[in-house]
Amino acid sequence: MTANTRGEADVSVIKIYKLFILKERAIYQHLNMLQNGETVAYGLVWVPKYFDIEKKLREQDLNGLSFEKGPDEIKGLEKPTYFRLNEFTWVFQEIVNTYGVPAYKEINPTVFTCVSFPFLFGVMFGDIFHGSWLTLFAMHMCYSHKAGSQDLVGKARYLLLLMGLFAVFCGFIYNDFSSLDTQLFGPGCYPRADEEPIPGTDDVWAH
């Protein structure tokens, strides 16, 4: 969409029809979920308690329609799972949902995944050099990310940041800087040629 000299927006006709079709399709998809009564269509909807839907409905003009709260338990229906997420926990919840969505009132593994997943990555990827580059890239993504952006890499910026930090942390523990014989904190994790080989590994180093 562009603006012409008169300040009016130039919108593609194809774009307008596409948005119209998507809107109509969404309306009919939701209408198909309802059942037809004598005068209105009705259906069951799950709403999180913190939405306070009763208060919001009372504040609206329903054109004479009344409503009442249904039972908390309905035979044959299972309550769906809903978790309140933010920009930090979203990516970790996506990882958990890849393997299975927790059931209603079940402990959400995402709480533990926020630390365990990037830490285990650091254990595997532990390297000061490469971990530092990953950390700098993630810090740039955190700084430049725009609110509301649907960029998947940008939405995973906090995951990348923790992965980079843990990789650097484990790199210091391993005393490993890009697998170079830097000897940052005494002997490195890889024996040098002039060092005495580890007992029991003579044949390995001989090759």
State pLDDT tens for residues 75-111. Answer: 777 788 888 888 899 999 999 999 988 888 888 899 8
Q: What is the pLDDT of residue 3?
A: 47
Residue 73 falls inside a structural domain: no
Residue 77 falls inside a structural domain: no
Structural domain span for residue 33: 2-43
Residue 53 falls inside a structural domain: no
The number of distinct structural domains making up the chain is 2
Q: What is the pLDDT of residue 205?
A: 47
Residues with Cβ within 8 Å of 31's Cβ and at least 6 positions away in sequence, in order, are 41
33 and 105 co-located in one domain: no
Q: What is the pLDDT of residue 121?
A: 93
Query: Beta partners for 42?
Result: 35
Q: What are phi and psi of 188, to 5 degrees?
A: -80, 180
Q: What is the pLDDT of residue 203?
A: 53
Q: What are phi and psi of 91, to 5 degrees?
A: -65, -35
Residue 201 falls inside a structural domain: yes
Q: Which helix (H) or strand (E) holds 20?
A: helix 13-31
Q: What is the pLDDT of residue 160?
A: 93
135 and 194 co-located in one domain: yes
Residue 65 falls inside a structural domain: no
Residue 154 falls inside a structural domain: yes
Report residues of the chain scoring pLDDT below 70: 1-9, 62-68, 70, 72, 180-207
Question: Can you read off the two tokens belonging to residue 87?
Answer: 């920009």
